[in-house]
Structure 1
Amino acid sequence: MKWTEASVVPVRVFSTDEVSDLVRRDGAAVLTGVPDERTALSAGLRSLGTKGVRIGRQIEATQRNEAAQARAVAEQPSDDKGRKRAFTLATERMPPHNDGYAFGDFAPDHLFLWCERPAAVGGDSFLVDTSRLLDLFAADPDNADMIPFCWNVAVDHSEPNYPQDRLQPLVRLTPRGRFQGRYHPYLSAADGPTRERDRTFVRRWEHAVLSARDHGPMFRLEAGDLLCIDNYRMLHGRDSHNDPRRRLCAIWGWSTDAVSLPEGALDINDPWAAAASSTGA
C-alpha cells in the first residue's frame, strides 16, 4: 500500500549533536540513554540550538492521568455541529496528530517524548511524514487534484468547542519558511457552497494518513529513549496497551521558527486561556 511509504522509523543516535540534523532531514530522531526528565529537557533544548526559545513538560502520559483527562473532556458539552471532544484511552490506538493541534498557531514546532518505562506489551509508536504524503499524492495521477486543495483551500482545524480564529489549508509554508502539514480527527471542511466537495478531499487526506498509520511500520521506545520530532511536519501516536505502569512525558519546545509563542502554559482543558495574550515568536 503506497501510503505506507510516508511512515517513518526514526534513526537512533547516542549524541544530542546528531539530533538537530536528523530532525531537519528526516523529521524525527531517537536519542538513547536519557536517564531522567531533567536530562530530557536539557537535551531537547540543546537540540534546538541557538533558535531555542522555550521548552517544558506538557503532559505525563499514564493511564491514571489519561482517565482524569477523559473525565474532564466528557463533562464538556457538544458544539454547534453536534461534535464532542474525545480522548484516546490507553487501550485504543491513537489517531495520528500533531501535538497541540487545538491551539492552532500556538502549537509547539518541536515535540520530545521521553520514555521512562515502556508498556510491557504494546504501546509501540508510529510516525507519518506529511511532506512525504504530499509527494505520494503528487506522483499519483488519480490524486493529483489533492495538491492544489492541500495548499490552497482553507479548512477548519478546530476541536469541538474550541474554534480557531481563522481557517487554514492542510499544508503551508510558515512565515519563516517551515513546511507544515496537519491532521487530527476533528478536521472538517469549511462552511460554504463548496463544503460537500471539500469534504471529499479532507476524507482522502484522512484515508491516506490512517492507511500510513495502520499499515506502516511501528517502532518501540525503550526506557531512556527520547523521541525528537518536527511537530510541524510529522504526525505521531502510539498503539494500544494495557499497562498502568507505562510512563511517558510529552515535552513541548518552541524555537524562533515557531509561528507564535504563547506567554503562559497551554491547558488541554482550556486551550485559549494562555494563548489569548500571546505574541508571535
Structure 2
Amino acid sequence: MIPARLSATSPQARAALTGTGAVVLTGLPVEPGSLAVAAAVLFGSGVRELYPHRTRRSVDGGPLPLHADSFDVVVDVGGRQVRRRHPDEDFVLLQLVEQAPSGGESFVVDAHAFTDSLPADLRAFLTDVDVDLYGRWAGVRGLPATPRVARHVEHTRTGRRITRRTDGAAPLHRDPRSDHVTAMLRRLDEEVARVQPALPRFRLDEGDVLVLDNYRCWHGRDAHTGTRSVHIQTIRTDDAG
C-alpha cells in the first residue's frame, strides 16, 4: 500500500489510519516531541503507554526487510523496573529527520491479507504453533531471561488480530517439533522475500511522520547511500487488548 498523506491536524487522519493501517502525517517540526504530539492528536486519552523514543542513523545502509516493531525490554532505573519496549506495542510512529541522497524508499504491506494468502499449511503454522519470539536474540543485554511464547497470528481478548513479524523467532526450548518449526520459519522468510520486491515504494519527506498499526502492517525500506536518520516511537493504546 501507499499510505495517504494528510496534515497532522486533519480530521481524516484517524479514519485513514483505521481504514488501511497506515498514514503519513505532514506539517510537524522535525524533533522527537512531534511523535508524542502525533500520538496525542490521533489517539487522545486513548494513549496508554508511550515508550522512550529512539533515533536511528545509518550511513550507506543496506535494505531493511519487512518487519513489525516488537521487542521486550525492561530495565532497572534506581531500583525500579521500567519497561522500555513491549512485545505487543500496537502502533509505531516514525519521523524522517534526514533524507538520504539516494535510495531509502519505504514500503508497507497489509500483513493480515498477506498471511491469509499463504499456503494452508503455512497459515496453520502461523496460527497454531507457539514459538519463542526472541529466542534467536538470547543473551542480548536487557532482554528478559524468560522466553516470550506466542504465535505469529493471535487475537487480543478484545478480538483485535495481531500478525507478528520478527527475525528473532525460534523454536521453544526442547520442542520436539524444532526441526519442523525451523523449516516453517524459513518458509515464511522465503515468502516475505518473494513479495517484498513487488511492493509499491513511497518516499518520505523530512519531517513526515509515518504512523502504522503495528498489529496489522509490516514495513521496511530500501538500501540507501549517504546518511539517513529517523526518530521512532512505539506506543500502546487502550485498544491494545
Instruction: Give the TM interval when normalised to the shorter protein.
Output: 0.7 to 0.9
- Structure 1 window deviating more from structure 2 (9-18 vs 175-184): it is 9-18
In the alignment, what sits opposite 1:242? 225
In the alignment, what sits opposite 2:165? 183
TM-score (norm 2): 0.82
Mapped pair 1:121 → 2:102 = yes
Higher-RCO chain (CA-CA 8 Å, sequence separation at least 6): 2
- Higher strand content, 1 or 2: 2
User: Distance in 2 between the 1:106 and 1:148 partners?
Assistant: 22
Mapped pair 1:193 → 2:176 = yes
In the alignment, what sits opposite 1:31? 25
Letter in 1 for 2:41: R
User: Distance in 2 between the 1:19 and 1:30 partners?
Assistant: 8
User: Distance in 1 between the 2:49 and 2:234 partners?
Assistant: 8
Q: Is the 8 A contact 2:70 2:86 kept in 1?
A: no
User: Distance in 2 between the 1:178 and 1:208 partners?
Assistant: 24
User: Distance in 1 between the 2:15 and 2:113 partners?
Assistant: 18
User: Distance in 2 between the 1:226 and 1:256 partners?
Assistant: 21
In the alignment, what sits opposite 2:46? 51
SS at structure 1 position matched to 2:24: strand
Shift in Å, 1:35: 2.4
Deviations 1:165-218 (A, max 9, x none): 342111100223221111122222334222222222222222222222233222
Q: Is the 8 A contact 1:11 1:29 kept in 2?
A: yes
Match of residue 149, structure 1, among 122, 125, 140: 125
Q: Is the 8 A contact 2:66 2:220 kept in 1?
A: yes
User: Distance in 1 between the 2:161 and 2:17 partners?
Assistant: 13
Letter in 2 for 1:54: E
User: Distance in 2 between the 1:136 and 1:184 partners?
Assistant: 19
- Higher helix content, 1 or 2: 1
SS at structure 2 position matched to 1:62: strand
Shift in Å, 1:102: 4.3
User: Distance in 1 between the 2:212 and 2:190 partners?
Assistant: 23
In the alignment, what sits opposite 2:61? 91
- Structure 1 window deviating more from structure 2 (203-212 vs 247-256): it is 203-212
Percent of residue pairs identical: 27
1:156–1:249 CA distance, 2 compared to 1 (3 A) = same
SS at structure 1 position matched to 2:188: helix
CA RMSD of aligned residues (A): 2.2
SS at structure 2 position matched to 1:193: coil
User: Distance in 1 between the 2:212 and 2:185 partners?
Assistant: 24
User: Distance in 2 between the 1:30 and 1:90 partners?
Assistant: 24
SS at structure 2 position matched to 1:184: coil
Q: Is the 8 A contact 2:132 2:147 kept in 1?
A: no
In the alignment, what sits opposite 1:12? 5
Match of residue 211, structure 1, among 181, 194, 216: 194
1:36–1:91 CA distance, 2 compared to 1 (3 A) = closer
1:231–1:164 CA distance, 2 compared to 1 (3 A) = farther
Q: Is the 8 A contact 1:33 1:225 kept in 2?
A: yes
Letter in 2 for 1:31: L
Unaligned 5+ segments in structure 1 are: 1-7, 64-88, 138-142, 260-281
SS at structure 2 position matched to 1:145: helix
User: Distance in 2 between the 1:230 and 1:183 partners?
Assistant: 13
In the alignment, what sits opposite 1:77? none
1:40–1:157 CA distance, 2 compared to 1 (3 A) = closer
Tell me the matched-pair count. Answer: 221
Shift in Å, 1:90: 4.8
Letter in 1 for 2:197: D
